[in-house]
């Protein structure tokens, strides 16, 4: 379908250098099971965990726990659908260099498939950036530094020049030390928050709700889907794994660990504060990989402007989870799997994949509608 094959003439000519092209062409060492576990954890865990206690408050802690584990299982299944689809194309059709979700979309559906994947990935990543800025702005605005308080917008604009500097770096390799430092701080902060939640809960034991109504079900589901978003990294991570036959088991173990961590964080955060729980509990797309400084800066500006006008952190997480992550994490993997395996899959597998795609569409549309209605209600009230 126009994608590079190992035997094609295009494969004989080296491609032009991209942003992610290594300076030294030596093969990189493959990841052990432990490193794969850590990489998957880093790829999945993000700002979504910060909105879980508030989501637990609105949907009920038992309902939220059930949703978290259901979303974790479905996310793992859809991630493995992408892995199986790539393996099928590479082993039977002879395709090579299917390195990303977008490449897979191009092989299966041509330019339209790549456009759909890249658009959703861009929107989801922009949404994650907006979420982080909202978190930073709201958190700093609640603090009084030397007795002086500033609005959220002040702190968001204060981050702007630093974002421009970071986004001016042409290769992500130079950001690796900062990423490792951020992961260590993230885990340490989560441990501190969990310990504080337990301490507060043992002292005051506020009343909590176990179940929420149907209107808030889609809200909590959107936050859960957002929290587990990381499907865009599954193909690169599988490629870097040494024992690929064990990748599915390692991925499942990681998702179980993350689900338990999320469940504990959300439950303890809600149990500690009850009804007083707040909404914050504490690549190159479309330019072929070319370095484009002005485009990077323009995206930073757009993301910062969006963060200024979003009224609530957890509400925005739910919107991104429903409107973007459902399609990216559930609908597209199931459809790609059906298109590649349609000639050999049984009717049960076909119905399962199509059922996942339909569920993803229904949840995405319904969740987006519910959260947009909530935004309108907040704006007018």
Give pLDDT, residue 12.
34
The CA–CA distances, whole Å, from 340 to 46, 76, 88, 92, 119 equal 32, 19, 8, 11, 22
Give pLDDT, residue 259.
92
Global pTM reads 0.76
Strands (E) located in the chain = none
Beta bridge mates, 145: 148
Q: C-alpha angle 246/248/249, rounded to 5°?
A: 70
Residues 236, 99: contact at Cβ < 8 Å? yes
Sorted by where each starts, the structural domains of the chain and their CATH numbers stand as 29-380 (1.20.1740.10)
| Three-class SS state of 148 | strand
Give pLDDT, residue 130.
81
Q: How far apart are CA 70 and CA 167, in angstroms?
A: 36
Q: How far apart are CA 115 and CA 111, in angstroms?
A: 6
The CA–CA distances, whole Å, from 128 to 48, 247, 275, 317 equal 8, 26, 26, 8
Per-position pLDDT tens, the chain of length 381: 444 444 333 333 444 545 444 444 455 567 788 888 888 888 888 777 777 888 888 888 899 999 999 999 999 999 999 999 998 888 876 666 788 888 899 889 988 999 999 888 888 888 878 877 877 787 777 776 666 677 878 888 888 888 788 777 766 556 666 667 777 877 788 888 888 888 888 888 888 888 877 777 888 888 888 889 888 888 888 888 888 888 999 999 999 999 999 998 888 888 887 777 765 554 333 444 455 666 666 766 666 666 666 666 667 777 788 888 888 899 999 999 999 998 888 889 999 999 999 999 998 888 888 877 776 776 666
Give pLDDT, residue 294.
63
Backbone angles phi, psi at 5, to 5 degrees: -110, 155
Give pLDDT, residue 4.
43
Beta bridge mates, 241: 31
């Amino acid at each position: 379908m126009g994608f590079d094959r190992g035997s094609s003439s295009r494969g004989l000519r080296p491609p032009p250098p991209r942003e992610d092209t290594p300076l030294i062409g030596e093969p990189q060492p493959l990841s052990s099971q432990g490193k794969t576990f850590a990489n998957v954890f880093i790829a999945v865990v993000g700002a979504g965990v910060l909105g879980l206690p508030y989501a637990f408050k609105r949907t009920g802690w038992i309902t939220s726990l059930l949703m978290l584990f259901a979303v974790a299982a479905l996310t793992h299944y859809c991630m493995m659908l992408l892995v199986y689809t790539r393996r099928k194309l590479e082993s039977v059709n002879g395709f090579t260099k299917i390195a990303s979700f977008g490449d897979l979309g191009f092989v299966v559906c041509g330019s339209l498939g790549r456009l759909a994947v890249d658009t959703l990935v861009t929107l989801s990543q922009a949404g994650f950036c907006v979420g982080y800025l909202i978190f930073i702005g709201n958190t700093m605005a609640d603090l009084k530094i030397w007795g002086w308080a500033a609005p959220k917008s002040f702190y968001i604009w204060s981050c702007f020049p630093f974002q421009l500097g970071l986004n001016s770096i042409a290769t992500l390799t130079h950001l690796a030390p900062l990423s490792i430092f951020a992961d260590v701080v993230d885990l340490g902060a989560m441990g501190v928050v969990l310990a504080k939640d337990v301490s507060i809960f043992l002292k005051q034991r506020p009343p909590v709700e176990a179940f929420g109504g149907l209107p808030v079900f889609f809200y909590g589901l959107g936050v859960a889907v957002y929290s587990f978003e990381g499907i865009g990294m599954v193909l690169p991570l599988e490629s870097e794994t040494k024992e690929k036959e064990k990748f599915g088991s390692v991925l499942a173990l990681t998702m179980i660990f993350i689900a338990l961590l999320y469940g504990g964080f959300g439950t303890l955060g809600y149990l500690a504060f009850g009804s007083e729980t707040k909404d914050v509990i504490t690549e190159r797309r479309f330019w072929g990989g070319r370095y484009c400084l002005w485009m990077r800066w323009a995206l930073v500006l757009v993301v910062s402007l969006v963060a200024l006008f979003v009224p609530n952190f957890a509400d925005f997480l739910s919107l991104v989870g429903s409107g973007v992550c459902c399609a990216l994490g559930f609908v597209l993997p199931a459809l790609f799997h059906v298109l590649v395996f349609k000639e050999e899959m049984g009717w049960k597998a076909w119905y399962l994949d199509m059922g996942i795609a339909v569920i993803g569409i229904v949840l995405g549309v319904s969740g987006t509608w519910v959260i947009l209605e909530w935004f309108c209600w907040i704006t007018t009230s």
